[in-house]
Amino acid sequence: MKLVIITGTSAGLGQSFFRQMSSRCDGLMSISRRILPEQKVLAKENGKELFLLQRDFTDVENLSSIEEDLRQLVGHVPIHEVVFINNAGVVTPLGKITEGTTDEIVESVHVNMVAPILLTRGLLNAFDLSTTRIKVVHISTGAALRVIEGWSMYCATKAGMKMFYDVLTHEYKEFPNVTFHQVNPGVMDTPMQEKIREAKNVHFPQWERYSRLKEEDQLPHPDEVAARIIDELVL
């Protein structure tokens, strides 16, 4: 079985990935805070093995159990390939760090770092790396590499994940079956961009530039972006 695991499939790019990957695999696992009704229907229509795991990434306890879920699955179904699309993310808090609440700051670290790190470890523990091909696709951002005032937590957590996967690329170099891919999808028309446009009254000097992207119709639909990534990485 080729198993595709996607995080954050309830909106934006993750929703597009779910839709498009459902016809490219035998098993589809969504790990998402919200599961959309259409997703159950869509995957059933395609006759897939469907695993819809509802998880809030701020709840670490609930995330740890996913490694056990994967182990059980491995015991029941032969899986020759796993594609893990690490997509869920939050851009908040926006503004100077003093404008962010404690909850927003903690949420940013949990969703953008703790959850993907635990899920990646779970994946690497659960599968036999000598027989299963594992492709980890981390959805990164240009903000992992450059300073954007008002986005300190987003920049920091995304930069942290870049280093995490850079290190893992070295740690797993003896395992040709395991590959890590970091992709910058570029700006796109998703709820995340709506949140960015809402941040008019906080410290965010590039607010106008980001607002213009929508006004000038420069934000591609996430379906287009997902299709390009799937094509480029041969997912």
Ligand X SMILES: NC(=O)c1ccc[n+]([C@@H]2O[C@H](COP(=O)([O-])OP(=O)(O)OC[C@H]3O[C@@H](n4cnc5c(N)ncnc54)[C@H](OP(=O)(O)O)[C@@H]3O)[C@@H](O)[C@H]2O)c1
Which residues carry out catalysis?
154
Nearest distance, CB of residue 187 and ligand X, angstroms = 4
- Residue closer to ligand X, measured from CB, 79 or 113: 113
Decide if residue 39 touches ligand X (CB under 6 A). no
Pairing of strands 133-139, 2-7: unpaired
Among 25, 43, 190, 230, binds ligand X (CB under 6 A): 190
Secondary structure (DSSP) of 45-91? HTT-EEEEEE--TT-HHHHHHHHHHHHHHHHHS---EEEEEE-----
Decide if residue 33 touches ligand X (CB under 6 A). yes
Decide if residue 14 touches ligand X (CB under 6 A). yes
CA distance 170 to 172: 5
Among 108, 141, 152, 157, binds ligand X (CB under 6 A): 141
| Helix then strand then coil, % of the chain, to nearest 5 | 50, 15, 35
Length of the chain: 235
Among 188, 226, 229, 235, binds ligand X (CB under 6 A): 188
Q: Which amino acid is at 52?
A: L
- Residue closer to ligand X, measured from CB, 70 or 111: 111
CB of 191 closer than 8 Å to CB of 138? no
Decide if residue 57 touches ligand X (CB under 6 A). yes
- Footprint on this chain of ligand X (rule: CB under 6 A): 8, 10-14, 32-34, 56-58, 87-90, 111, 139, 141, 185, 187-188, 190-193, 222
